[in-house]
Structure 1
């Protein structure tokens, strides 16, 4: 994949995470507390500024009480 494609994927993932977080009623700080990830790092994920690990994805999904694959379900 090209670098632009990578950025687009990170942005879509982040947008989807933010949408799910808000739908579940979590603030950044509340989600941070639930998954032990610094709230500023979650903000970077939501803005597509960082590439995260599988373990981070699993932490987020567990805290949001969703299957991890839901974090990858966005509209093109």
Structure 2
């Protein structure tokens, strides 16, 4: 798996978790101190997100950070 694909899957998983909790991007951005553009880039997998940002996202959506990484890396 390429770095780009890994980031895309991470972002898709973050979006899935956020939506499953009924949270909008705007709410997560406001409470997590992120710009909407940054959150959009994270969820689309177009940015190599820093660990601290992932901690803030996880905290804001109310999950342990390890939950953000619970996706299958072997899928094509």
Q: TM-score normalised to the size of structure 2? A: 0.91
Greater relative CO (CA pairs within 8 A, separation 6+) = 2
- The answer to whether structure 1 residue 18 and structure 2 residue 10 are counterparts is no
1:44 aligns with 2:41: yes
TM superposition outliers: structure 1 runs of 4+ over 6 Å? none
Partners in 2 of 1:31 and 1:39 — Cα distance? 9
Q: Cα offset for 1:40? A: 1.3
Partner of 1:32: 29
Normalised by the size of structure 1, how large is the TM-score?
Answer: 0.91
Measure, in 2, the Cα distance between the counterparts of 1:67 and 1:38.
22
How far off its partner does 1:21 sit? 0.6
For structure 1, the residue ranges without an aligned partner over 5 or more in a row are none
How many pairs align?
73
**What is the SS of the residue equivalent to 2:2?**
helix
